[in-house]
Amino acid sequence: MLNLKGRSFLTLKDFTPREVRLMLETAKQLKNNKLTGVPNKHHEGKTIAMLFEKTSTRTRCAFVTGARDLGMHAEFLGKDDIQLGKKESVRDTALVLGRMFDGIEFRGFSHDTVEELAKYAGVPVWNGLTDKYHPTQGLADMLTIKEHVGHLEGAHLAYVGDGRNNVANTLMIVSSLLGLHYSVGTPKELFPDPALVEECRALAEKYQTGATIRVVENPYEAVTDADAVYTDVWVSMGEEDKFEERIRLLKDYQVNQDLMLATRKNNTKFLHCLPAFHDKNTKVGKEILEKYNLDAMEVSDDVFYSKNSVVFDQAENRVYTIEAVMDLTL
């Protein structure tokens, strides 16, 4: 029997396909339990720390809800509550928090920080997002695709947009582990790290998953025959000075009805990790879209709210996949 107790969750590259499937199977069971009124309180009396350098809606709420479902208390520590790397080193912070908490979540900028926390904490550390990877999101995406497409192995997932951000990296990794055909449509300037592409291909070969990885400039080529089309914001948190540059590079990579029709399938699902710049109904969205004379950025409003959009199922599934990771590693 697989046992993940005591393991940290920093990137999906650290796990085998069997271990990732166990996480998804556990998430499905925890979800079924909750929806049918069966309690999941496997860890009553435990306490976790949630360290947030970056703000969040879904990650924070999913960890709090998942912890409560498991019978635990979650303590939130925002950027103004901790001295991480400022007055206190990451190592010292890890050594202190590891003596007080049963597990630690970190959401922030540098992936080195979460690795150092895991090295010294002595308790499981979970990556809620870093500049390189977003593994809890990747798990929720796979659970959502399985629910709506019906299978993962052999499914075609197309990602359109910034091909080297943390979500795109994570989708490439998890696709290689679970046997999906992963294609990326992105400008040459935003191609994923070639070393990561080769590493993912090597993982697919090592585990004989049948996964393929393709990186192309033409978004219409990327989505041909796709079972699911995924996009993310064009400018990640911390890159706000790059809006003009990214709009110039990505204006032809918007996921709209024309692009969805290019899949040549009627039931292709649309995914987005949220939040999305799909209309002018937020203060920031209105300012940016009006400044650059756009109706939407990475996804059109009609695709975002279409019958094929599963973005809110993705958001809900963050709870169950995060809950599964905590349950298994604690």
Instruction: Confirm whether 295 is a catalytic residue.
Output: no
Q: Which of 43, 156, 278, 318 is catalytic?
A: 318
Q: Is 294 annotated as a binding residue?
A: no
Instruction: Confirm whether 318 is a catalytic residue.
Output: yes
Q: Which of 7, 107, 246, 272 is catalytic?
A: 107
Q: Is 273 annotated as a binding residue?
A: yes
32's CB contacts (< 8 A; 6+ apart) are 38
Q: What is the largest CA-CA distance in the chain?
A: 56
Q: Is 232 annotated as a binding residue?
A: yes
- How many whole angstroms separate alpha carbon 174 and alpha carbon 233? 20
In the three-class reduction of DSSP (H, G, I as helix; E, B as strand; rest coil), residue 182 is classed as strand
Instruction: Confirm whether 99 is a catalytic residue.
Output: no
- Residue 249: CB atoms within 10 Å: 18
Q: Which of 232, 246, 254, 327 is catalytic?
A: 232
Q: Is 166 annotated as a binding residue?
A: yes
Q: Is 237 annotated as a binding residue?
A: yes
Q: Is 137 annotated as a binding residue?
A: yes
Q: Is 318 annotated as a binding residue?
A: yes
Distance of CA 4 to CAs 114, 204, 329, Å?
18, 22, 5
Q: Is 83 annotated as a binding residue?
A: yes
Q: Is 21 annotated as a binding residue?
A: no
Q: Which of 111, 273, 278, 314 is catalytic?
A: 273
What value, to the nearest 5°, has the Cα angle with vertex 304 and ends 301 and 310?
Answer: 170
Instruction: Confirm whether 273 is a catalytic residue.
Output: yes
209 backbone dihedrals φ, ψ, rounded to 5°: -85, -15
Q: Is 135 annotated as a binding residue?
A: yes
Q: Is 236 annotated as a binding residue?
A: yes
Instruction: Confirm whether 111 is a catalytic residue.
Output: no
Q: Is 293 annotated as a binding residue?
A: no
Instruction: Confirm whether 232 is a catalytic residue.
Output: yes
Nearest to 51 by CA among 96, 4, 3: 96
Q: Which of 134, 181, 272, 278 is catalytic?
A: 134
Q: Is 57 annotated as a binding residue?
A: yes
- Quick one: how many helices (H) and strands (E) in the chain? 13, 9
Rounded to the nearest 10°, the torsion over CA 143, 194, 133, 286 is: -90
Q: Which of 137, 246, 272, 278 is catalytic?
A: 137
Annotated binding-site residues read 56-59, 83, 107, 134-137, 166, 232, 236-237, 273-274, 318
Annotated binding-site residues for L-ornithine read 166, 232, 236-237
The catalytic residue positions are 107, 134, 137, 232, 273, 318
